[in-house]
Structure 1
């Protein structure tokens, strides 16, 4: 679970105490990044930065206009009055530069781990790749995930989403690819000749926090038409 969320800015009665909570969340996120843990911390930091930026930009527009208080007959314009900003907005304005610094650290970590992993195909890959298996090194075994890529439509348009589910199958990293595929076909008989991909890392990285989300992103880039692998 990420230490950063918009809930930190929801109700602010004591600005100093709220700043302490935000600093604590930023510190926890920095520690995670230094341990090469990418998610959910990086995604949460990006989402929070986007939300706070939109909040502050919207508040700035309101501050610039404010409620109508009368008419300036000399200029023919409405006169408006600026209001006092709530503490949550003061907290958001204070936090944004600090959050930007943490995001830069997260981006550097993401780029580092991306440079040290490789997604490769396992055996022959069929033309149909919207469904198959993803293998990820996890100590002395290969973790097997079944994946499915589906088209979705959202407010920003159409896109493709990748969903995975864990498979209870033991795969030896030292075995040959044909043995992996035979075990996978036995576990999921409705996919007798599936597309199969493997993510390997040349440095020690956390599996759930880094390797799995990175593998999903790279796989979606490869089979989802992004051209990234």
Structure 2
């Protein structure tokens, strides 16, 4: 898929037509992904670029937290030095502001398309607990049923909480354990009992079932949104 470098505003030729070409190619690729009902990783990438544009527009500075994990602190600091020199150059900064002015509504429109797809997938994803839910919800099992209903993908999940100066974030990590073909003799409740017997490190695990009500890409839509939906569900339980 066509990607946009994290430092696309400052990298390479600083020319409006060139940046416009890069941007339009990237947004076209993003819309193609949405057309295939594939949200990730393009949706989070779009959000990062849009937020950084807003930050530059409002404060004329880059913010490390807005960049994806693939850029290291050291790489960011080098980029920041380059950007500081650009900000001091009025003519160059004028070109960047022109690019930002052009790019912002295009990013906004594409993000809205992605959000509508996200909301559609989320509305058609049902999450329910399996069996009795313990008081501790931050670790356990996630069962994921695709639209066909013939298989259950079994994941172990772990939710972590981390904070910065302003906000508290919850992250989730999943590990795929197995894929089970289900039938009358293999209910979700029986599957949970088998897991408890096999994996005694979790004697009373929180277990949740996410069911897709419409067909969607497992890797690019269903699993990422199921994970985010589970974090929301668990957060409400803990409130």
TM-score, normalised to structure 2's length? 0.77
Q: 1:142 aligns with which of 145, 152, 166?
A: 152
**Matched ranges for 1:91-170 at <5 A:** 91-138=99-146, 140-167=150-177, 169-170=178-179
Please, which moves more after superposition, 148-157 or 93-102?
Answer: 148-157
Secondary structure of the residue that 2:181 maps to in structure 1?
A: coil
Runs of 5+ in structure 2 lacking a partner? 62-88
Q: Deviations over 1:1-33 (max 9, x none)?
A: 773453322314143222111111100111111
**In the alignment, is the contact (CA less than 8 A) between 1:2 and 1:40 conserved in 2?**
no
| Equivalence for 2:90 | 83
Q: How far 1:92 moved relative to its partner?
A: 2.2
Distance 2:238 2:120 in 1: 20
| Alignment RMSD | 2.6
Aligned partners of 2:2, 2:145: CA distance in 1, in Å? 24
Q: 2:195 aligns with which of 154, 169, 184?
A: 184
- Greater fraction helix: 2
Q: 2:219 aligns with which of 187, 208, 211?
A: 208
Note if 1:6 corresponds to 2:15. Answer: no
Deviation at 1:188, TM superposition (A): 2.6
- Give the gaps of 5 or more residues in structure 1: 61-81
Report how far residue 190 of structure 1 moved.
0.5
Whole-Å Cα distance in 2 between the matches of residues 187 and 147 of structure 1?
16
Shift in alpha-carbon separation, 1:84–1:107, aligned structure 2, 3 A: same
The Cα of 1:183 is off from its aligned counterpart by 3.4
Give the total of aligned pairs. 207
Max Rg structure: 1
Distance 1:185 1:5 in 2: 45
Deviates more, 1:183-192 or 1:45-54: 183-192
Q: What's the secondary structure of 2:91's corresponding residue?
A: coil
Give the corresponding residue for 1:195.
Answer: 206
Moved more, 21-30 or 138-147: 138-147
Tell me the secondary structure at the aligned position of residue 150 of structure 1.
strand
CA distance in 2, matches of 1:117, 1:4: 30
